[in-house]
Structure 1
Amino acid sequence: MNLAFYKRIEESTAHRLNREFIRDYVLQNPEKLQYLIEIALHEKDKIHIKACWSLELIFEIKLELILPFLDDFLAKIGQFKDDSAIRPISKICMFLSKSKTIKLSENQETKIIETCLDWLIQDKKVATKAYSMITLYNFGKKQPWINEELKTILSQDYFKHSAAYQAAAKDILRKLK
């Protein structure tokens, strides 16, 4: 482990500029990405959440950088417990579902779909649920059964949630009609 890099992540905060600093550092030093992913995927590490925040920003710009780590990433996504880590992980799943250049295997898509369905029906924060809705909607373009499942879940849960959830659900339900 690169201790100086670890310390840099440890000292970062949730502020956008801090996360962008880590993002830019990794983009300029791509060999550091492996360390960042190792930290992010090691849920017992006290700073794994901070690493997840930075991964989101990196993959928002250069999603293809995930490819060497994709299977490890997907093996872990359903195991995260902390909402502060799950939110950026769910957003990365959304990036993958939207990608025109990254072709996921059937197993990889299935893992993301199953995890997003779980997040959607579990007691998760609105942002995670919203990213899950979008991800499922995107995969539903290729696999129509997802649309039916999504309609059912969103319709049943609509009035049980906040206005923010309702707005996201309404947008997806409108697209599904």
Structure 2
Amino acid sequence: MKTDLVAKISQSTAHRKSRVSLSNFIIRHENLLNEFIEIAFDIENENHVKAFWSLEIVCEKKLKLFVPYIDLFCEVLPKLKVDSAIRPATKICMFLAKSNHRKNGISLTQEQEHNLIEALIDRLIQDEKVAAKVYAMKALFVFGKKYDWVHEELKTIISQDYSNHSAAYQAATRNLLKKLNK
């Protein structure tokens, strides 16, 4: 079965239909989740980016499956170098933050929250693509509802960085600043 999973990952593409197909396969075959996560988190593996593309959708559909891997995710997150893996990883952070904030969602430990916050702030101040920065901002906004200092840090970073980015980034920043200044 291992070669079957590796083949499925390597044959997948960035197209939504392909990513959804692979994520559905993983959800149907939860016994493969461990191996799938191993591939996604192995930044030396040539298929790790493709695995991350579908892992994002697995987390969007069934975040509870991801709970046993959060500590490992917190370790891998700051090590990601490829934009195509960073974007889905920051989106997963957003799912985790939102679920953690909901009454019946998953519960992150304080250490997990702090690890995610630190990694997200790093992503925000680094030279990342807009989508990754926007997901990082959204996740940090949610974490800031619990930790006031996060909102202050977020305001400072996005205000200073505002003029150095595209219109899309500036629009997302304006919307977030309105929420932060309420």
Q: Given residue 123 of structure 1, which amino acid in structure 2 is its aligned partner? A: D
Q: Distance in 2 between matches of 1:45 and 1:6?
A: 11
* Aligned-pair CA distance for 1:136: 0.5
- Corresponding residue SS for 1:62: helix
Q: Distance in 2 between matches of 1:128 and 1:40?
A: 17
Q: Given residue 136 of structure 1, which amino acid in structure 2 is its aligned partner? A: L
Residue in structure 2 matched with residue 89 of structure 1 by the alignment: 89
**TM (normalized to structure 2)?**
0.95
Q: 5 Å matches for 1:1-177?
A: 2-99=2-99, 100=102, 101-177=105-181
Q: Distance in 2 between matches of 1:70 and 1:146?
A: 21
* Aligned-pair CA distance for 1:75: 1.1
* Aligned-pair CA distance for 1:59: 0.4
Listed one character per residue, the Cα deviations across residues 104-151 of structure 1 (whole Å, up to 9, x for unaligned) are 111100110000100000000000000000011000001011111111
Listed one character per residue, the Cα deviations across residues 70-111 of structure 1 (whole Å, up to 9, x for unaligned) are 111111111000010000000000000000211111110011
Q: Distance in 2 between matches of 1:105 and 1:69?
A: 13
Q: Distance in 1 between matches of 2:42 and 2:94?
A: 21
Q: Distance in 2 between matches of 1:68 and 1:141?
A: 25
Q: Distance in 2 between matches of 1:95 and 1:171?
A: 19
* Aligned-pair CA distance for 1:40: 0.3
Q: Given residue 132 of structure 2, which amino acid in structure 1 is its aligned partner? A: T
* Aligned-pair CA distance for 1:65: 0.5
Q: Given residue 162 of structure 2, which amino acid in structure 1 is its aligned partner? A: Y
Stretches of structure 1 lacking an aligned partner (at least 5 in a row): none
Matched pairs, number: 177
* Aligned-pair CA distance for 1:32: 1.1
Once superposed, what is the RMSD of the aligned Cα atoms? 0.8
Q: Given residue 107 of structure 2, which amino acid in structure 1 is its aligned partner? A: K
Stretches of structure 2 lacking an aligned partner (at least 5 in a row): none
Q: Distance in 2 between matches of 1:4 and 1:103?
A: 33
Q: Given residue 155 of structure 2, which amino acid in structure 1 is its aligned partner? A: K
Q: Distance in 2 between matches of 1:174 and 1:92?
A: 24
Q: Distance in 2 between matches of 1:8 and 1:21?
A: 10
**TM (normalized to structure 1)?**
0.98
